Structure 1
Amino acid sequence: MKIAFYGSSLLSSRWNGAATYYRGIIKALAALGYDVTFYEPDVYGRQQHRDIDPPDWCKVVVYQPTQAAMKAVTARAAEADIVVKASGVGFEDDALFEEILNAASPHALTIFWDVDAPATLASLAADGDQPLRGQLGRVDLVLTYGGGDPVVYGYRALGVSDCIPIYNALDPQTHYPVARDPRFVCDLAFLGNRLPDREERVEDFFLSAAEMLPERTFLLGGSGWEDKPMSPNVRYIGHVGTADHNAFNVSPKAVLNISRASMASNGFSPATRVFEAAGAGACLITDAWVGLDLFLKPGEEVLAARDGQDVADLLDGLTLARAIEIGRQARERVLREHTYDRRAAEVDRIIRARVPGSAQGIRMEAVG
């Protein structure tokens, strides 16, 4: 079974929070016998800041941000049994989706895979004339990287045939415990790019907590924070490549996850950072959101905070022994229930239920 997957970037996480998710899902689908080609535009300097080389489990086609190049790669959709258009590709998304839908075989399963569903639904509610609204009526299925029932109901209200969340997860071969790295040693670390619907929450949950605990050390990673005012006990290190994420997670006493505003208000939206940290055995403090207990148990496998004061209180009372135990239990939980192998098996079941004869075709490809 051939999948044509059009997304932001598989090769680079630069301004691309979905990279880990794409890699985990596609790698696990390839292990099940799917033949995946990922099409990504050369935008935002991502090709100059790759985190991984082109993998052996997926063919990657990088195209230039021109109309001609876009038409050339979308024409390849005709060769696929399954055609996926992700949200937020980054170059002419509306035109890209239209070309993909026009090129796809009438027998192909067409999927819109939304990696930021709360924001997409809010945008559609604010502007009902977007081309995406009509395009959604032409796809067979919407998959999302989170959101739970609120997202499912929101998409069904738009008339899509079905919407199913496929949550973030862990690739144990990518994120795992490593030795501590002096570059990242501190009391609390946060990694995230500066985005409009995250900045205010970073000010509350991270920067204000640092001000409350001047004797503790804080580490901020991610792009865009260069000119952000912060207290002297916060050290800013800029973009952290995925190759350093394990060390970034295990070296502090605790790491912090802060959901973007739209995802926090919607709930049921664990970021990739949640599973990366848990997979490395880190003690994770996260902003509290509805649905957290579906993934990790608050108080035992994760610490949940309502605001910066909670973060400061949790950190102030956190012993190293307790931090280690929370990280150990979190790792056990995600390895047991939340790996990309499990997520890919779910995607596989969804596909087999919708593509006649697909189960046999996948088995034949898998054995060569």
Structure 2
Amino acid sequence: MKIAFYGSSLVSAYWNGAATYYRGLLRALAEKGYDITFYEPDVYDRQKNRDIDAPDWCRVVVYEGTVEALKAVSAEASRADIVIKASGVGFEDDLLLMEVMRNAKQHALKIFWDVDAPATLAELRSSPDHSLRKALPALDLVLTYGGGNPVIDAYRKLGAPDCIPIYNALDPQTHYPVPKEPKFSADLSFLGNRLPDREARVEQFFLEPAARVADSRFLLGGSGWSDKAMSPNIAYVGHVSTRDHNAFNASPKAVLNISRASMAENGFSPATRVFEAAGAGACLVTDYWEGIELFLKPEHEVLVARDGQDVVDIMQALTPERARLIGENARATVLDAHTYAHRAETVDLLFRTRVNAGREAAE
């Protein structure tokens, strides 16, 4: 079956946190025989900051950030059996959704794939005339990369025929243990771009605890933090290419996950870095969010902090031996139950069931 997927970027993770999610899941689907074309706009300097070449398991079409180019690639949706428009593409998202679904074949499976559901839902609730809200009843399905029952119920109430979370996971081909690198050495590291609904939580869970544990070394990676005030024991390394993610995760004693505010409030939203860090054998410390035990067992496979004081307490008590054991336990669990191959099994069954039902209804 042919999939036309319209998203932010497959080949660049620059200001594009969904990249590794797309790569892991779409590669796993390609291995099941799907013929996939990924359409992405040339915006935000992503093409200047590619971290992978176009893969051999997916055709990548990069189009100019113009309405004319958008309409041209939208017309290609007519060739696909499954048409997917992701959230946060970054150029004329509302128009892209309308054009893609207008061009899709009558009996094609039409999907909106939300990679930031809590934020999208907040926007829809505040905008009764939002174009996505109006489009939901005509779609076949909403998929999300997190959110659990709160997101499922919210989308159904807004008119979506159905909503199913397809959670982040590990791609063992790209995230795995590597030797430690001195430039990423630290007691606690955090990797994340500076975003409005993340900054206050980074202050609470990372910057403030670092200032209170002056004899420990903290490492901050991600774009946008260069002018942020921080204590002398924090080393800032800027944007970290996906090529260095394994070393970034494997080198410190522990790695911190800080959820964006909307995802923490909603719960059931493990970030990609949760699985990527676990895949590299890192000892993961995460801020608290409801549902974490569905993925990793607290105190055995992950350490959970409800506030900055918890981060301080964890770091003061954490030994290298315990950190190593937690990392090993987490890696074993994600390999056993939370890889993109596991997620693709769910998606493949879902797609085939829905497409076949549509074909039968058309006969």
1:15-94 equivalences in 2 (<5 Å) = 15-94=15-94
Amino acid at match of 1:155: Y
- Partner SS for 1:84: strand
Q: Which residue of 2 aligns with 1:331?
A: 331
- Partner SS for 2:336: helix
Amino acid at match of 1:40: E
Separation of aligned partners in 2, 1:95 and 1:211: 46
Q: Which residue of 2 aligns with 1:307?
A: 307
- Residue 358 (structure 1) shift: 9.7
Q: Which residue of 1 aligns with 2:207?
A: 207
Q: Which residue of 2 aligns with 1:365?
A: none
| Paired residue total | 359
- Residue 136 (structure 1) shift: 1.3
Q: Which residue of 1 aligns with 2:352?
A: 352
Separation of aligned partners in 2, 1:349 and 1:134: 28
- Partner SS for 2:304: strand
1:117-266 equivalences in 2 (<5 Å) = 117-266=117-266
Q: Could you give the per-residue CA deviations for residues 325-366 of structure 1, whole angstroms, max 9, x where no partner exists?
A: 00000000000000000101100111111111899xxxxxxx
- Residue 159 (structure 1) shift: 1.4
Separation of aligned partners in 1, 2:65 and 2:77: 18
- Residue 135 (structure 1) shift: 1.2
Separation of aligned partners in 2, 1:37 and 1:288: 37
- Partner SS for 1:296: coil
Amino acid at match of 2:172: P
Separation of aligned partners in 1, 2:356 and 2:124: 33
Residues 7 and 38, structure 1, Cα contact 8 Å, conserved in 2: yes
Residues 107 and 358, structure 2, Cα contact 8 Å, conserved in 1: no
Between stretches 345-354 and 38-47, larger displacement belongs to 345-354
Q: Could you give the per-residue CA deviations for residues 222-249 of structure 1, whole angstroms, max 9, x where no partner exists?
A: 0000110000000111000000000000
Q: Could you give the per-residue CA deviations for residues 115-150 of structure 1, whole angstroms, max 9, x where no partner exists?
A: 000000011111111111111121100000000000
Residues 75 and 100, structure 1, Cα contact 8 Å, conserved in 2: yes
- Residue 53 (structure 1) shift: 0.4
- Consecutive unaligned residues of structure 2, counting only runs of 5 or more, are none
- Partner SS for 2:48: coil
Separation of aligned partners in 2, 1:358 and 1:322: 52
Separation of aligned partners in 2, 1:6 and 1:98: 12
Q: Which residue of 2 aligns with 1:267?
A: 267
- Partner SS for 2:198: helix
Separation of aligned partners in 2, 1:169 and 1:46: 23
Residues 189 and 254, structure 2, Cα contact 8 Å, conserved in 1: yes
RMSD value over aligned CA atoms? 1.0
Amino acid at match of 1:52: I
% identical aligned pairs: 68
Q: Which residue of 2 aligns with 1:4?
A: 4
Separation of aligned partners in 2, 1:74 and 1:38: 11
- Partner SS for 1:200: helix
Separation of aligned partners in 2, 1:180 and 1:358: 51
**What TM-score results when the alignment is normalised by the length of structure 1?**
0.97
- Consecutive unaligned residues of structure 1, counting only runs of 5 or more, are 360-368
Q: Which 4+ stretches in 1 moved above 4 angstroms?
A: none
Residues 352 and 358, structure 1, Cα contact 8 Å, conserved in 2: no
Residues 143 and 165, structure 1, Cα contact 8 Å, conserved in 2: yes
- Residue 14 (structure 1) shift: 0.6
Q: Could you give the per-residue CA deviations for residues 261-310 of structure 1, whole angstroms, max 9, x where no partner exists?
A: 00000000000000000000000000011000000000000000001110
- Partner SS for 1:183: helix
**What TM-score results when the alignment is normalised by the length of structure 2?**
0.98
Residues 351 and 358, structure 1, Cα contact 8 Å, conserved in 2: no
Separation of aligned partners in 2, 1:130 and 1:352: 31
- Partner SS for 1:255: strand
Separation of aligned partners in 2, 1:346 and 1:299: 29
